[in-house]
Amino acid sequence: MKQKLLAAAAALGLAVSVTAGQAADTVKIGLMAPLTGSWASEGQGMKKIVELLAEQQNAKGGVSGKKIEVVTEDDGGDPRTASLAAQRLTTQGVAAVVGTYGSSVTEASQTIYDEAGIPQIANGSTAIRLTEKGFKRFFRTAPRDDEQGRMAAQTIGKLGFKKVAILHDSTSYAKGLADESNALLKKKGTEVVFFDALTPGERDYTTILTKLKGANPDVVLFTGYFPEAGLLLRQKKDMNWKVPFIGGDATNNADLVKIAGQEAAEGYYFLSPPQPQDLDTADAKNFLTDYQKKYNELPPSIWAVLAGDGFRVMVAGIAGAKSTDGDKIAGYLHKDLKNFSGLSGPISFDAKGDREGEVYRVYKVDGAGKFVLQKL
Amino acid sequence: MKPRVDVLGAGLFAAAMAVAPLFLNAYQVDVLNSIGLYALLALGLNLILGEAGLFNMGHAAFYAMGAYTAAILNTRYQIPVLWTLPLSGAVAGAFALAVARPVVHLRGDYLLIVTIGVGEIVRIALVNDVFGITGGANGIFGIGRPRLFGLVIRRPEQFFYLIWGFVALTIFLFLRLKRSRFGRALNFLREDEVAAEGSGIDTAYYKLVVFGLGAAWAGMAGTLFAAKMTIISPESFSFWESVVLFMIVILGGAGSIPGVLLAAFLVVGLPELFREFAGARMLVFGLVMMVMMVVRPQGLWPARGRQKWLAVSGKALGP
Amino acid sequence: MEEFFQQLTNGLAVGGIYALIALGYTMVYGVLKLINFAHGDLFTYGAYLGLTLLTSLALTDRLGFAMGVLVLALMVMGLVAVLGAILERAAYRPLRQSPRLSAVVSALGASIFLQNTLMLIYGPRFQVYPDNILPAATLNIFGLYLPLMRVLIVLVSVLMMVGLYLFIQKTKIGTAIRAAAIDQDAARLMGIDVNRVIMLVFLVGPALGGAAGLMVGLYYGQINFTMGWIYGMKAFTAAILGGIGNIPGAMVGGLLLGVIEALGAAYISIAWKDAIAFCVLILILIVRPTGLLGERVADKV
Amino acid sequence: MKAAEPTVEREQRSLLTLGEVTKSFGGLTAVDKVSFAVEAGSVVGLIGPNGAGKTTVFNLITGHYQPNHGDIRFAGQRLNGLPTHRIIMLGIARTFQNIRLFQQLSALENALAGCHYRMRGGILAGMFGFLPYQRRAEQEAVERSVGELEFVGLNQKVATVAKNLSYGDQRRLEIARALTTQPRLLILDEPAGGMNEQETEALIGLIEQIRARGITILLIEHDMRLVMRACEKLVVLEHGGKIAEGSPEQVRNDPRVIEAYLGTEDEV
């Protein structure tokens, strides 16, 4: 019995005896990303990009004369794990944190960073309320759902569609976007003939497509993620149904075309912040060449790129504030950082920590499976 | 085995836990908080699964009921979150009674899938914003910090004492329950339902009541969870949570309170310990689960029979 | 009405896959009374192995479509079967005399392990089958759109199920399996090598699961390392619905679950589809506590 | 067999009566219009070849099955439709053909199960304390259980886990557990099954002692020596129907019984 207790005590000791970070001549930047779980592909993309950018920055001498060290923690794509990851980062002496992807995951970590005085910059979290709570050191490179909703409604109007079907996937993000778009479309007098949610993670969506087809829309707005979008396009083609699809920014992923097949993906519209490929800035071009050199592929998703932007913004903040103090960095980002040359277009922040200006663009998939920026 | 060793060991453990926050950083304390919540949930599930032998793989549903009750009462009616504790427990318990009633007679694996189904139905209902009060996939945010004796609880070490205090109380109560007439009835049920019924025990009643009790505990754990996170959403109550709780109970040794505690430390703590493995941490975790089960099939710390303390004098019996 | 039949066929195609996976659950359960929670992941391995073999060996280019896919299917089924046997040896055999739920936890651990192994080998991104393998013909019968592949999925599933049924019912080995399912000790006394029977069950069940994985890969194209979890859960539900341990029950349960999902989505709500399916399951179990075709074993007193 | 007495009269003297009880499973009629009575204070044997429906009759009495037709009455109360535990509480206890003990629990705990329904106290009592009356009730329960264990001859095995007991001891433990429910009628399903000669001999003595306590006994047994010595009345079933009833002497000489028993032997 005693031995068992000792073993238990030892396990306890082990479980919590992790090395605390020591202040040294490095500047630590935390990256909180879903390295495991359903969104592991996003998280690992984020890690690749941030590591590459840190290498480059260190090759240029780091920030304020110190080398940058990236401390990565897995948030598992779930709020509870995220709150632990956040606690862990706060104990490791990071000056700033980049991440994370899901809105509710970010939300679970917000108060922890806030109470620790560490600035946080989320890359994939688009839920409106994240920046409505008055956290002074919270930023995001991702645009907000309401902005995307506005863009979606506007685009549908410009393309001249009269009857819209809206499909989401019940996730916080997709539902939010669907609701925003639904309200705006109705206000403009566009008829919404269908509004429902699919179950993400499945393979067969013909049931839903059959039902959608029965509603006979001019266009389908799908606000979910790329794996489902790809399957919808593929199975839609199998049904010989030729209705156009518009998607949200979560479908901006190179794998979309792979999943759907080039033929089925052709003509698919989606909204997204601009990709580095579509920017003429030197920063974007250099980044792309280096990324391809190092990993032999294109950046897997725009969200990973936005994490990269988050990292670059934080480095600029630390350099600009000449300090690793959270309030000073935040102050600099709010006031002094204007039109920073991001990998997803120019970046400035408003008082809430949201990006200023129109971030969204409209893309269309061409016959070769390329994402082509549209001018509407 | 002398009972004194037990008491001594438990005392040492309690003392170590009581001073732990003084030596640990915020992250480490928060890991312990997470372990505490799982321990609380698993202790409740242990009554159902370990003591009564009813296969329940949908415990997260009751957890969710409690958390949402607390969150709704707190955010809509401004009821202090800790005050909702008994009500959350009652709602979760009542819900469990209602759903268990028609299905609790099902045999093993059929009950297993039904509880999985109930868990999924609850989660889907939450995601779809049932009755317009659960906030859909966004969940509910802005839950107030709990207050205790005028002190606002916000830092990890403050939660530590709240959560582990509740765990200690639970252990105390459940130990007593285990040794009572009620606890015995659950064991009869687990060992042989027909024989229990044939000895005059109303098995249907006990099955139902233990479901209600375990669920009520999950509901109260849900309140603590809601208070700690200040935001809850359906993904915190996924099928995976039920699976984790199930694993904790079986890995620890069904029906064993120290076993459940130990397993909560391992199942919640190991993935944290394996953070160094980054992407491979869940792989290592899965492997460790398998190996531990193969090496100790009865659980890490199996329940000891009651006969030891019952037989001390043969006749005299006292707690 | 046309939509109803369209949805019915949609449901059958999905249900065919469920049924094929459910067979693995039900066979293992029949003999060992074990819910093999890692079975869904063996299905995923079928999909991944299929992709790797397809692209690396270029079978369809060399042997033509029909022959290539057939050879591919046999290879995948063989490999997944071996994997299933290894799993049995490593994770379940040591636990055969232990409390039943210990093996369930071991199975869950195995499932996590298998899933994450795939993630480390292939990476977390979705993997995609080349989309030019299958003939993309779509039949149009009485206004119903029936992609040829969907028809094939149902046909192949049913063929495999019938084959398995005949194997279990008509052959000597099948009789041994049935005997072991009823009473292992008695079967052993009758000279049946129960270990071999169990091994066999762990070869055949995973092989069918692997075949299902390959079909999903070939037809739907997109696969990822976590997909076995959902399919596994659905198949387990299907097996219970039909009466676990009962082979025709798994077929009926699988097809029925697919149809319930499709019709529930079509006529009630897509978002509530899975909840509806579970409600139907629970209602059926309230009326028939051992599933549709499960034996009504009154507890022997 | 004598002409049937008027039912009412018979019931007045009988503890247990079955009136035209029928049970069928699917197409198979397991028990076919069986009627018999067990008088208070007697030892009655239910015999018949394998598959005659004896255990089914027991299961009908204790409510594990519900009869399709017919009446089962105990001390004037109709048992039909009552759940098993209610029937036990009325004063019927039983053992099982295939021993059903709580395998992982000690002999004492097994015996305590029988005391359960006479005790009080649920969750709150369990958690929040032992009031004096509860403490007393616990103590009484343990004393009664130990007493019954001693009565059946398990004084040395009180703390032994059930699965570690010998076969004969397990049978005795089942009887002790049944006795702790303080029954008026004890139903024993093949109590000598698996016992050796000595143990059977001891069992006959035990049955006598139980009877001496005023407990009525109904038993199924294949061991004819035991049946003939212990029982004062036998009821013979074949193919679900009753073919004979009477004293051991009468039954032994009943041609239909002889045919039933010898007939089956011929077939073998």
Q: Judge whether C256 and C291 are in contact, CB under 8 Å.
A: no
**3-state SS class at B102:** helix
Residues of C in contact with D59 (CB under 8 A): 301
Q: Judge whether A18 and B28 are in contact, CB under 8 Å.
A: yes
CA distance C61 to chain D (A): 58
| Phi and psi at residue A138, to the nearest 5° | -105, 130
What is the band of B317 on the pLDDT scale with cuts at 50, 70, 90?
very low
What is the band of C59 on the pLDDT scale with cuts at 50, 70, 90?
confident
Q: Judge whether B186 and B50 are in contact, CB under 8 Å.
A: no
Q: Judge whether B18 and A12 are in contact, CB under 8 Å.
A: no
Residue carrying the six token digits 């339902």 = B193
Cβ <8 Å between C298 and D96: no
H helices, E strands: number in chain C: 12, 4
Residues near B245 by beta carbon (within 8 Å), at least 6 away in sequence: B38, B41, B42, B45, B59, B60
What is the band of B313 on the pLDDT scale with cuts at 50, 70, 90?
very low
Residues of D in contact with C300 (CB under 8 A): 98
A152 and A138 belong to one structural domain: no
D76 and D123 belong to one structural domain: no
The CA radius of gyration of chain A, in Å to the nearest whole number, is: 22
**Domains identified in chain D, total number:** 2
Q: What is the pLDDT of residues C242-255, one digit of tens each?
A: 998 888 999 999 99
Q: How many percent of chain A have pLDDT more than 70?
A: 94
A139 and A34 belong to one structural domain: yes
D45 and D156 belong to one structural domain: no
Task: Dump strand ranges (E) for chain B.
Answer: 140-141, 147-148, 151-152, 231-232
A376 part of a folded domain: no
D187 and D86 belong to one structural domain: yes
At least 3 CB pairs under 8 A between chains D and A: no
Cβ <8 Å between C119 and A198: no
Question: Is A208 touching C (CB cutoff 8 A)?
Answer: yes
Residues near A167 by beta carbon (within 8 Å), at least 6 away in sequence: A178, A194, A195, A196, A197, A198, A208, A212, A220, A221, A222, A223, A224, A232
B256 part of a folded domain: no
Summarize the confidence of residues C234-244 as an average pLDDT. 93
Residue D126 has pLDDT above 90, yes or no: no
Would you give the DSSP letter of residue C270? Answer: S
Residues near A295 by beta carbon (within 8 Å), at least 6 away in sequence: A48, A52
D156 and D193 belong to one structural domain: no
Residue carrying the six token digits 């042997």 = C63
Cβ <8 Å between D138 and B201: no
What is the band of C297 on the pLDDT scale with cuts at 50, 70, 90?
low
Q: Which chains touch C (3 or more CB pairs under 8 A)?
A: A, B, D
What is the band of D137 on the pLDDT scale with cuts at 50, 70, 90?
confident
The parent domain of residue A328 ranges over: 7-143+279-347
Cβ <8 Å between C101 and B289: no
Residues of C in contact with A40 (CB under 8 A): 119, 124
Residues within 8 A of B (CB atoms), C 13-52 only? 29, 35
Q: Judge whether A118 and A96 are in contact, CB under 8 Å.
A: yes
How many contacts (CB atoms, under 8 Å) link A and B?
127
Cβ <8 Å between B290 and C233: no
Residues of B in contact with A83 (CB under 8 A): 30, 229
A339 φ/ψ sector (left φ>0, alpha ψ -120 to 50, else beta):
left
| Phi and psi at residue A185, to the nearest 5° | -65, -40
What is the band of D130 on the pLDDT scale with cuts at 50, 70, 90?
low
A57 and A111 belong to one structural domain: yes
Q: How many percent of chain A have pLDDT more than 90?
A: 60
**Alpha carbons D230 and A283: distance in angstroms, whole number:** 102
D87 and D105 belong to one structural domain: no
B261 part of a folded domain: no
D174 part of a folded domain: no
Residues of C in contact with D96 (CB under 8 A): 301
**Alpha carbons A237 and C131: distance in angstroms, whole number:** 13
Residue ending a domain, among D141, D168, D195, is D168
Task: Dump strand ranges (E) for D26-124.
Answer: 28-39, 43-47, 69-74, 77-78, 92-94
Cβ <8 Å between B279 and A44: yes
A313 part of a folded domain: yes
D157 and D231 belong to one structural domain: no
Summarize the confidence of residues B5-13 as an average pLDDT. 87
The parent domain of residue B229 ranges over: 24-238
A26 and A74 belong to one structural domain: yes
Cβ <8 Å between A9 and B12: yes
| Candidate from B116, B128, B250 with C-beta closest to C105 | B250
Percent of chain A that is helix, strand, coil (3-state, to 5): 50, 20, 35
Helix axes C100-122, C39-57, angle to 10 degrees: 30
At least 3 CB pairs under 8 A between chains C and A: yes
D177 part of a folded domain: no
D29 and D82 belong to one structural domain: yes
**Alpha carbons D96 and D190: distance in angstroms, whole number:** 8
Cβ <8 Å between C110 and B250: no
Kindly report whether the peptide bond that precedes residue A100 is cis, defined as omega within 30 degrees of 0. yes
CATH of the domain at D50: 3.40.50.300
User: How many other CB atoms are there within 10 angstroms of residue A47's CB atom?
Assistant: 22
Report the DSSP beta bridge partners of residue A374: A362
B319 part of a folded domain: no
D72 and D109 belong to one structural domain: no
D1 part of a folded domain: no
Would you give the DSSP letter of residue A61? Answer: T
D173 part of a folded domain: no
Report the DSSP beta bridge partners of residue B140: B232
A84 and A128 belong to one structural domain: yes
**Domains identified in chain A, total number:** 2
A260 and A292 belong to one structural domain: no
Task: Dump strand ranges (E) for D43-122.
Answer: 43-47, 69-74, 77-78, 92-94
Q: How many percent of chain B have pLDDT more than 90?
A: 65
Chain B contact residues (CB < 8 Å to D) = 173-174, 176-177, 179-185, 187-188, 191-192, 194-204, 209, 213, 305-308, 310-311, 314-319
Q: What is the pLDDT of residues C87-105, one digit of tens each?
A: 999 999 999 888 888 999 9
A369 part of a folded domain: no
B244 part of a folded domain: no
A264 and A244 belong to one structural domain: yes
| Candidate from C278, C290, C301 with C-beta closest to B117 | C278
Burial of B227 from C-beta contacts in 10 A (0-12 / 13-18 / 19+):
buried
Residue C151 has pLDDT above 50, yes or no: yes
| Candidate from A44, A208, A231 with C-beta closest to C124 | A44
| Candidate from A5, A15, A170 with C-beta closest to B31 | A15
D176 part of a folded domain: no
Q: Judge whether C60 and C134 are in contact, CB under 8 Å.
A: no
Q: What is the pLDDT of residues B235-287, one digit of tens each?
A: 889 999 999 999 999 999 999 999 999 999 999 988 888 877 767 888 988 99
Q: Judge whether A50 and A295 are in contact, CB under 8 Å.
A: no
CA distance B210 to chain D (A): 9
Question: Is C2 touching B (CB cutoff 8 A)?
Answer: no
Position B314 scores a pLDDT of 42
The parent domain of residue D204 ranges over: 7-91+183-267
A109 and A160 belong to one structural domain: no
Q: What is the pLDDT of residues D67-97, one digit of tens each?
A: 999 999 999 899 999 999 999 999 999 999 9
Cβ <8 Å between C101 and B103: no
Mutate to test the interface with C, among B197, B247, B290, B295 (most CBs of C within 10 A): B290
Q: Judge whether C199 and C85 are in contact, CB under 8 Å.
A: yes
| Phi and psi at residue A77, to the nearest 5° | 70, 20
How many contacts (CB atoms, under 8 Å) link C and D?
9
Residue carrying the six token digits 């593929």 = A234
Cβ <8 Å between A255 and C125: yes
**Alpha carbons B118 and B97: distance in angstroms, whole number:** 12
Write down the ipTM of this complex.
0.87
Residues of C in contact with D64 (CB under 8 A): 301
Summarize the confidence of residues A163-191 as an average pLDDT. 91
A255 and A300 belong to one structural domain: no
**Domains identified in chain B, total number:** 1
Question: Is C246 touching B (CB cutoff 8 A)?
Answer: no
Residues within 8 A of C (CB atoms), B 187-216 only? 193-194
Least confident of A180-184, B90-94, D62-66, D120-124: D120-124
**Alpha carbons B124 and B64: distance in angstroms, whole number:** 12
Summarize the confidence of residues D126-149 as an average pLDDT. 85
Position A119 scores a pLDDT of 95
Q: What is the pLDDT of residues D212-257, one digit of tens each?
A: 999 999 999 988 888 888 999 999 998 888 888 899 888 888 888 8
Q: pTM, whole model, 2 decimals?
A: 0.89
Q: What is the pLDDT of residues D17-44, one digit of tens each?
A: 999 999 988 778 889 999 999 999 999 9
Nearest CA to A214 out of C10, C274, B191, D172 is that of C10
A201 and A297 belong to one structural domain: no
Mutate to test the interface with A, among C220, C229, C257 (most CBs of A within 10 A): C220
**Alpha carbons B40 and B34: distance in angstroms, whole number:** 10
Report the DSSP beta bridge partners of residue D237: D242
**Alpha carbons C222 and A28: distance in angstroms, whole number:** 38
Q: What is the pLDDT of residues A291-305, one digit of tens each?
A: 999 999 888 888 999
CATH of the domain at A33: 3.40.50.2300
Cβ <8 Å between D116 and B200: yes
A44 and A126 belong to one structural domain: yes
Q: Which chains touch D (3 or more CB pairs under 8 A)?
A: B, C
D227 and D124 belong to one structural domain: no
**At C6, which helix (H) or strand (E)?**
helix C2-32
Q: Judge whether A235 and A205 are in contact, CB under 8 Å.
A: yes
Residues of C in contact with B298 (CB under 8 A): 98-99, 102
Residues within 8 A of C (CB atoms), D 34-63 only? 55, 59
B255 part of a folded domain: no
D118 and D187 belong to one structural domain: no
Q: Judge whether B148 and B162 are in contact, CB under 8 Å.
A: yes
Position B3 scores a pLDDT of 61
Residue A162 has pLDDT above 80, yes or no: yes
A199 and A109 belong to one structural domain: no
| Phi and psi at residue D100, to the nearest 5° | -120, 85
Q: What is the pLDDT of residues B144-181, one digit of tens each?
A: 888 888 888 888 889 999 999 999 999 999 998 988 88
A55 part of a folded domain: yes
D96 part of a folded domain: no
